[in-house]
Amino acid sequence: MTEAAAGAAPRADRATEPLLEVRDLVKHFPITKGVILNRSVGAVQAVDGISFEVRPGETLGIVGESGCGKSTTARLVMRLMAPTSGSIRFDGREIAGARGADLKELRRQMQMIFQDPYSSLNPRKTIGTIIGEPYAIHGLHPEPGRRKRAVQEIMDIVGLNPEHFNRYPHEFSGGQRQRIGVARALALRPKLIIADEPVSALDVSIQAQILNLLRDLQTEFGITLVFIAHDLSVVRHMCDRIAVMYLGKIVELASSEELYAHPRHPYTGALLSAVPVADPRLAAQKKRQILAGDVPSPTNPPPACRFHTRCPKAVAGHCDTDEPLLDPKDGGNLAACHYPLTDAEVAERVPTARVAG
């Protein structure tokens, strides 16, 4: 007996209100100095004014490399920390300032799956306890037998043997542990699940199992999914729409088809160009766009367009003085760029673009 949310929602239902709406979200981590009284001398601008929305039932992917702010964004949406400024609306309610009992109530509606299945499960608790903890915290299924049955039901749904209720995390493999994490997130039948790099730490053949599981659960329970990853092939497979982040900003936001068929932001192009293609013939054809240098420090990001220091198309006097806004480009992609990639440039650097979309 499974509980499905009001009908299994289609993957991208454009007619309804967004489930999650983020506007101008900012999170700065202050850097302090001082002897007795600490004063702020600067800040790590982890997330610096991003806006996006997620419609019910869809999967939004957030991609970027280290330091781009995607994990911070996840934690802000989950309200694991409070934003410096900006608005987060979940299910119509403003949650950026939520606290206490409101926050707890909120947690029933949104859950998170973490990256490292080895360290995100408490080794001293049985998996039955771990998966059942959400019920305990929110006072659900208080009768002893009922809770165990509810937990076992979920274990079955995610592909774990319900008889392993009393085993400890270390007795399971990485893939199974990630299933436990998924089960725990699913326990309260949340509306939104944020998956922070859920398969990065797993072997290739197990990754596919977990990805398929997430897709199946999404269809069956109508869950909206925000999928954070650095692996562009995985994100393409799982997500309806994708946001590309760089140094705390969203530089491109497009549907999966649009993004992979014709990326418009040069950074997206570089990312796609850099992804190793599992085909030696295509690899040989690729003119790799190798980005020079390293990502600048988020404490001191470049002025205006943050990517201009490494961008092959940057124009001095424009890109370093005028910050580009995220607006529609050729093909439908939203990109924050003054000189987006042309189709010819895309074809040259991203040979897979011809096949994609």
Partner 1 sequence: MLVYIVRRLLWSALLLFVISFLVFFIFYLLPSADPALLRAGRNPDPDLVAEINRQLGLDKPFYVQFWRYIEALVTDFDFGTSYQNNVPVRDEIFDRIPATMSLAFGAAVVWLLIGIPIGILSAVKRGTFVERMFMGAALVAISAPVYWLGLVSIYLFSNDIGVAARIFQPPGSYVPLWEDPSMWLRSLILPWFVLATAFAAIYARFMRSNLVDVLDEDYIRTARAKGLSERRVVFRHGVRSAVTPIVTIFGLDLGILFGGAILTETVFNIPGIGRTAFEAIQKSDLPIVQGTVLIGAMAIIAFNLIVDILYAFIDPRVRY
Partner 2 sequence: MPLLEIKDLRVHFATEDGLVKAVDGVSYEVERGQTLGIVGESGSGKSVSSLTVMGLTRAPNAHISGQILFDGQDLLMASDDELRRIRGNDIAMIFQDPLSSLHPFYKVGKQIAEAVRTHNHDVSKAQAWDRAVEMLGLVGIPEPRKRADAYPHEFSGGMRQRAMIAMALSNNPKLLIADEPTTALDVTVQAQILELIDRLQSEFDAAVVIITHDLGVVAETADDIAVMYAGRIVEKARADTIFHGPEHPYTWGLLGSIPRLDTARDEELVPIPGRPPSLINLPTGCSFHPRCPYVRDAHRRVEPELAPAGDDPSHRVACLLDHRTRQSVWADLRSGRTPEEARRLEVDRRDAGLDPAVARAEDGA
Q: Residue numbers of the site for partner 2 (CB under 8 A)?
A: 65-66, 173, 175, 203-209, 211-212, 230-234, 236-238, 256-257, 260, 270-283, 288, 290-291, 294-295, 351-352, 355-357
DSSP state of 164: G
Closest distance between partner 2 and the C-beta of residue 289, in Å?
Answer: 9
Place of tokens 């001082």: 34
Instruction: Supply the minimum distance, in Å, between the C-beta of residue 30 and partner 1.
Output: 17
Of 6, 15, 35, 284, the one binding partner 1 (CB under 8 A) is: 35
Query: Which position among 1, 7, 34, 92 is part of the footprint of partner 1 (CB under 8 A)?
Result: 34
Partner in contact with 36, chosen from partner 1, partner 2, none, beta carbon below 5 to 8 Å by kind: partner 1
Pair of tokens at residue 226: 């925000």
Distance of CA 65 to the CA centre of its chain: 12
Q: Find the helix packing angle between 174-186 and 204-221, rounded to 10°.
A: 20
Complex with partner 2: residue 130 or 211, whichever CB lies closer: 211
Closest separation between CB of residue 294 and partner 2, Å? 5
CB of 298 to partner 2, least distance (A): 12
Q: Give rounded-to-5 percent helix, strand, coil for the chain.
A: 35, 20, 45
| Distance (Å, whole) CA 151 – CA 125 | 14
Of the two residues 145 and 276, which places its CB atom closer to partner 2 in the complex?
276
Partner that binds at residue 282, options partner 1, partner 2, none, CB closer than 5 to 8 Å by kind: partner 2
CB-CB contact of 203 with 194 (8 Å): no
Smaller CB separation from partner 2, 43 or 275: 275
For 145-157, b/e burial (b = at least 16 CB within 10 A) is: eebeebbbebbeb
Task: Decide if residue 37 touches partner 1 (CB under 8 A).
Answer: no
Nearer to partner 1, 14 or 39 (CB): 39
Smaller CB separation from partner 2, 35 or 278: 278
Q: Give residue 183's identity as a one-letter amino acid code.
A: A
Compute how many other C-beta atoms are within 10 angstroms of the C-beta atom of residue 239: 23
- Give the residue, chosen from 1, 3, 14, 33, that forms a contact with partner 1 under the rule CB under 8 A: 33
Among 29-37, 67-75, 173-181, 206-214, the segment contacting partner 1 (CB under 8 A) = 29-37
Task: Report the residue number, 66 or 92, with the smaller CB distance to partner 2.
Answer: 66
Give me the residues paired with residue 44 across strands. Answer: 29
Coil, strand or helix: which one is 41? strand
The DSSP string of 203-239 is: -HHHHHHHHHHHHHHHHHHT-EEEEEES-HHHHHHH-
Give the Cα separation of 38 and 258 in Å (integer). 48
Among 15, 36, 284, 344, binds partner 1 (CB under 8 A): 36
Binding part of the chain for partner 1, among 30-38, 79-87, 225-233, 309-317 by CB under 8 A, reads 30-38
Helix 127-138, helix 174-186: angle, nearest 10: 20
Of residues 6 and 278, the one with the C-beta less far from partner 2: 278
Residues that bind partner 1 (CB under 8 A): 33-36
